[in-house]
């Protein structure tokens, strides 16, 4: 442990060293036991002890008893078939075992009245811990004091917007601090934390159902009932031909009888079909691996081919997760005495750059800065600043001539004078096209004396521009979705974001071809699985979907006899994918 830099003064002294040692000895630290998706023994057992292997092995043993090992070479098919399955599943196991939601790093905790930096695993239950901007939350906790902490919970909820947390709020492992900081008290550690529970549930093994293998096993079961009595009958008939058991044993003819009987029986077993199936599965798995695709079981290749329903997450799948500046629309507000021609567009864009150029801008701010830098804008004059706050929903600067404000249009317009129905209509139109819309307002003159200490929006401010940003759609999204439609696969977008915004993005990538995609708020979905299955048949886009709902949606589609595939890039998708 190393003592860290000075942090804000607090009353709490934190845990003592003795308490920490006692908690650690009780197993109440943040160590997560390395769990495995499936043990080596389970993989070997599942691939060795199959009905096909049992039949071939029994036949091989009978031939070996006769001493004719050359005639038992057909048993090699067991090794080949079993080896293919074991090698493929072991590779998948090693990859899956590396699955982890939390990133190990050092954290600052308050113990014995001092701030000390400790490794991720040394955090214990009841620790007072600092969560600072840029850090991932390593354990579930409750906020004791906060200095503007805002969290990105998209990995947990799918909601791409940051969330401001107040005192007494619970925060969960796996989320990331975007701005501000807080002192929190740890309420769950190790395998009891939210992220660890999700990881454990994602690693649970479930056998893949293969219709092809089910059919082969049905044939083998039938053959088992047929082969055993047939083999006995063939041996008996061969022995009778040479004069009975006494003669067959004394002359050694029983060996030929057994070999002939086994040869006749083995020829009836579809060895080639079994081996060919395994080889084709293995070849498909190798080809998928070249595309960076993990095949956990050979049978899952067949399942992939049978998919008729694909659920897509928006962020990271249809879009690449980045935001870009699309346009800055100057407003024509006659009622406020400001005409479009009276507003200097360069000044508006410069103010927009300075408004976004905070210490740690969020994703939208970074997109605006990037877009305006490409247009040649750089740092301007800022004499005073009110940083963005999720509570206020706006930020502000004073450039020496005027006070500029940028933020959520509905919030700013509700606090300034005038009738702004036309502007709100424009905002809604832009939002319905999938844009994130911000409003820029201005008032000439000097900033108030308490401008930075007691920030308030001046009711006399005039709205001057709307800023439209959008998530960047992947270049191959439209082409890929068109290919799936040609293959008869029904695609749905399931996201934690606003359904209107997600619906607009689905429209841009032609999710449903020439038809308008039908969207719905997941909070309106029925709880009954049967009803949900019926509703989903008429829905293409779902927004505000919770992690558990994604899992239920997959179950409902299964109830509708669909073969479902699921994509996602966050913890909120893990259970549905599983």
CB 384 within 8 A of CB 414: no
**Section 42-62 average pLDDT:** 82
In a domain, 41, yes or no: no
CATH number for the domain that contains residue 124: 2.70.150.10
In a domain, 351, yes or no: yes
User: What pLDDT sits at residue 2?
Assistant: 47
User: What pLDDT sits at residue 160?
Assistant: 56
pLDDT tens digits for 274-323?
777 877 888 888 888 888 787 777 778 888 889 999 999 887 788 887 88
Q: Which element (helix H / strand E) includes 2? A: strand 2-3
In a domain, 433, yes or no: yes
The alpha-helical segments, DSSP class H, found in 203-267 are 211-241, 245-251, 253-266
Q: Work out the percent of the chain whose per-residue pLDDT is above 90.
A: 23
- Please check whether residues 413 and 444 belong to one and the same domain: yes
Q: What is the pTM of this model?
A: 0.61
Tokens linked to 174: 């796996």
- Please check whether residues 350 and 440 belong to one and the same domain: yes
In a domain, 42, yes or no: no
**Section 448-462 average pLDDT:** 86
User: What pLDDT sits at residue 204?
Assistant: 64
Active site residues: 313
Q: How far apart are CA 214 and CA 113, in angstroms?
A: 65
Burial (CB count <10 Å: 0-12, 13-18, 19+), residue 388:
buried
How far is CA 154 from each of CA 48, 66, 178, 277, 568, rounded to the nearest angstrom? 43, 67, 12, 41, 12
User: What pLDDT sits at residue 136?
Assistant: 85
**Section 237-249 average pLDDT:** 76
- Please check whether residues 385 and 458 belong to one and the same domain: yes
- Please check whether residues 105 and 136 belong to one and the same domain: yes
* pLDDT band, residue 571 (cuts 50/70/90): low
Q: When comparing pLDDT for 246 and 305, which is higher?
A: 305
CATH number for the domain that contains residue 414: 3.40.1110.10
How far is CA 404 from each of CA 179, 323, 466, rounded to the nearest angstrom? 22, 23, 13
* pLDDT band, residue 48 (cuts 50/70/90): confident
In a domain, 515, yes or no: yes
The structural domain count of the chain equals: 4
- Please check whether residues 133 and 89 belong to one and the same domain: no
CB 508 within 8 A of CB 434: yes
CA angle 387, 388, 389 (to 5 degrees): 115
Q: Which element (helix H / strand E) includes 407? A: strand 402-407
Q: Work out the percent of the chain whose per-residue pLDDT is above 70.
A: 89
- Please check whether residues 482 and 448 belong to one and the same domain: no
Coil, helix or strand at residue 115? strand
- Please check whether residues 217 and 267 belong to one and the same domain: yes
CATH number for the domain that contains residue 486: 3.40.50.1000
**Section 453-474 average pLDDT:** 88
In a domain, 278, yes or no: yes
Domain end call among 444, 472, 500: 472
pLDDT tens digits for 407-446?
888 889 988 888 888 898 888 888 877 788 899 999 988 8
Neighbours of 124 (CB within 10 A): 26
In a domain, 532, yes or no: yes
Domain end call among 457, 472, 487: 472
Task: Identify the residue whose tokens are 């036949």.
Answer: 59
Among the residue ranges 131-135, 151-155, 479-483, 555-559, the one predicted with the least confidence is: 151-155
Q: How far apart are CA 441 and CA 443, in angstroms?
A: 7
Domain end call among 161, 182, 200: 200
In a domain, 356, yes or no: yes
Q: How far apart are CA 451 and CA 440, in angstroms?
A: 18
Print the domain residue range for 139. Answer: 2-33+101-200
Tokens linked to 453: 């200490």
- Please check whether residues 356 and 462 belong to one and the same domain: yes
- Please check whether residues 214 and 194 belong to one and the same domain: no
pLDDT tens digits for 121-167?
899 999 999 998 888 888 999 999 988 788 877 667 655 556 777 78
- Among 552, 549, 556, 554, CA closest to 159: 549
Q: Is the dihedral of CA 329, 334, 336, 339 positive or negative?
A: positive
- Please check whether residues 524 and 502 belong to one and the same domain: yes
Q: Is the dihedral of CA 525, 315, 170, 17 positive or negative?
A: positive
* pLDDT band, residue 3 (cuts 50/70/90): very low
Q: When comparing pLDDT for 268 and 564, which is higher?
A: 564
* pLDDT band, residue 236 (cuts 50/70/90): confident
Coil, helix or strand at residue 522? helix
- Please check whether residues 361 and 222 belong to one and the same domain: no
pLDDT above 80 (res 568): no
Phi, psi of 358 (to 5 degrees): -85, 180
The alpha-helical segments, DSSP class H, found in 323-387 are 345-356, 363-374
User: What pLDDT sits at residue 299?
Assistant: 79
- Please check whether residues 327 and 429 belong to one and the same domain: yes
């Amino acid at each position: 442990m190393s003592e860290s830099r000075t942090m804000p003064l607090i009353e709490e002294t934190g845990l003592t060293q003795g308490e920490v040692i006692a908690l650690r000895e009780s197993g109440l630290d943040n160590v997560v036991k390395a769990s495995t998706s499936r043990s080596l023994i389970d993989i070997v057992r599942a691939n060795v002890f199959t009905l096909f292997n049992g039949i071939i092995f029994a036949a091989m043993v009978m031939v070996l008893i006769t001493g004719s090992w050359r005639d038992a070479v057909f048993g090699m098919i067991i090794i080949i078939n079993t080896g293919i399955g074991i090698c493929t599943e072991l590779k998948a196991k090693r990859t899956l075992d590396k699955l982890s939601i939390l990133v190990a790093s050092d954290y600052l905790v308050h113990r014995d009245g001092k701030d000390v930096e400790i490794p991720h695993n040394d955090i214990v239950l009841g620790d007072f811990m600092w969560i600072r901007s840029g850090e991932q939350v390593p354990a579930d906790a409750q906020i004791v004091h906060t200095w503007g902490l805002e969290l990105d919970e998209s990995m947990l909820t799918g909601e791409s917007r940051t969330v401001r947390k107040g005192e007494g709020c619970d925060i969960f492992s796996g989320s990331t601090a975007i701005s501000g900081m807080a002192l929190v008290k740890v309420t769950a550690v190790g395998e009891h934390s939210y992220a660890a529970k999700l990881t454990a549930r994602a690693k649970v093994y479930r056998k893949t159902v293969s219709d092809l293998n089910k059919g082969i096993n049905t044939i083998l079961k039938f053959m088992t009932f047929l082969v055993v009595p047939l083999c006995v009958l063939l041996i008996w008939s061969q022995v009778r031909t040479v004069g009975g058991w006494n003669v067959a044993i004394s002359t050694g003819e029983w060996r030929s009888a057994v070999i002939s009987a086994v040869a006749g029986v083995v020829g009836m077993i579809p060895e080639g079909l079994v081996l060919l199936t395994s080889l084709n599965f293995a070849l498909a798995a190798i080809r998928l691996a070249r595309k960076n695709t993990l095949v956990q079981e050979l049978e899952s290749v067949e399942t992939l081919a049978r998919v008729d329903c694909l659920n897509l997450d928006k962020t990271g799948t249809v879009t690449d997760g980045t935001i870009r500046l699309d346009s800055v629309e100057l407003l024509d507000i006659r009622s406020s005495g400001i005409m479009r021609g009276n507003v200097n567009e360069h000044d508006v864009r410069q103010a927009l750059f300075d408004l976004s150029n905070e210490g740690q801008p969020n994703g939208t701010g970074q997109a605006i800065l990037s877009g305006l830098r490409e247009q040649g804008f750089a740092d301007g004059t800022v004499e005073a600043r009110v940083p963005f706050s999720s509570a206020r929903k706006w930020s502000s600067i004073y450039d020496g001539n005027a006070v500029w404000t940028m933020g959520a249009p509905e919030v700013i317009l509700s606090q300034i004078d005038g009738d702004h129905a036309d502007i709100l209509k424009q905002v809604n139109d832009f939002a319905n096209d999938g844009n994130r819309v911000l409003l820029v307002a201005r008032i000439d003159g000097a900033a108030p004396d308490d401008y930075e200490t007691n920030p308030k929006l001046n009711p006399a401010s005039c709205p001057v521009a709307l800023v439209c940003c959008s998530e960047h759609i992947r270049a191959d999204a439209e082409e890929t979705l068109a290919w799936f439609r040609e293959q008869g696969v029904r695609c749905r977008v399931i996201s934690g974001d606003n359904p209107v915004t997600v619906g607009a993005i689905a429209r841009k990538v032609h999710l449903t071809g020439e038809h308008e995609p039908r969207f719905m708020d997941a909070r309106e979905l029925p709880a009954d699985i049967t009803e949900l299955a019926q509703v989903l048949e008429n829905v293409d886009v779902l927004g505000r979907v919770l992690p558990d709902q994604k899992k239920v949606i997959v179950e409902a589609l299964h109830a509708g006899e669909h073969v479902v595939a699921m994509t996602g890039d966050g913890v909120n998708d893990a259970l549905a994918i599983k």
